[in-house]
Amino acid sequence: PRSIWLSRHGESMYNLAGKIGGDADLSPRGFRYSEALPDLCRQSGITPQQNITVWTSTMKRTIQTAQHLPYNKLQWKALDELDSGTCDGLTYEEIEEQFPEDFRARDDDKYNYRYRGGESYRDLVIRLEPIIMEMERQENVMVVTHQAVIRCIYAYFMNVPQDRSPWMEIPLHTVIKLTPKAYGTKEERFKANI
């Protein structure tokens, strides 16, 4: 690929409540990010002539984030957020209270810990293999997805060992542009003013 653009969805109502998982709408601030995104994309070097495709997950918060982008769009189930199983819809405090052993087990080995009825980061990396293969074949693609998913994609292109990806901070309301070069991958970040 020439470049890859990555963005988390805008802030969601669940982000505001500190809950994980779910299929919440964007918050008012998240909607402001969706409105700022076309301009941010232009700032990051996307020109109208570029044949860019925007990939989202099948969740409302990523689709809403991409809604004003004037490019072709495609939804992928494989880009959905890490499945937190029985913990879906809980806050981290509630998980610690209701499933203390799980909470500790995840902290001890976040890469391998699989939520009950859900996924681990290791599962997610396997689920993303076809996506990453397809990204490698594309000319220009922008991926609007979720924090855990971006961590794995970012680690792949930046050559970070995957077992470190669960701890990487991927900020909200920021476009990350990755450009493969002979010597490695160039990274630029563009933060929305919202």
**Residues belonging to the active site:** 8-9, 15, 61, 81, 146
Long-range CB contact pairs, 152-157, < 8 A, 24+: 152/121, 152/124, 152/125, 152/128, 153/6, 153/128, 154/6, 154/178, 156/128, 156/132, 157/4, 157/185
CB-closest chain residue to ligand G3H: 147
Supply 76's token pair. Answer: 């992928």
Q: How far is the CB of 139 from ligand G3H (least distance, A)?
A: 28
Out of 27, 65, 145, 147, the only residue in the binding site for ligand G3H (CB under 6 A) is 147
Q: Please, what is the minimum distance in Å from the beta carbon of residue 158 to ligand G3H?
A: 18
Selected from 146, 155, 173, 176, the binder of ligand G3H by CB under 6 A is 146
Q: Does the protein bind ligand G3H through residue 30 (CB under 6 A)?
A: no
Question: In this complex, which beta carbon is closest to ligand G3H, that of residue 30 or of residue 166?
Answer: 166
Please count the residues of this chain forming the interface with ligand G3H, following the rule CB under 6 A: 7
Residue from 36, 52, 79, 148 binding ligand G3H (CB under 6 A): 148
**Residue closer to ligand G3H (CB basis): 46 or 176:** 176
Supply the minimum distance, in Å, between the C-beta of residue 58 and ligand G3H.
Answer: 16
Q: Which is nearer to ligand G3H, 34 or 84 (CB)?
A: 84
CA distances from 83 to 13, 55, 70, 142, 145 (A): 18, 19, 30, 22, 14
Query: What DSSP assignment string belongs to 50-89?
Result: S--EEEE-SSHHHHHHTTT--SEEEE-GGGS----GGGTT
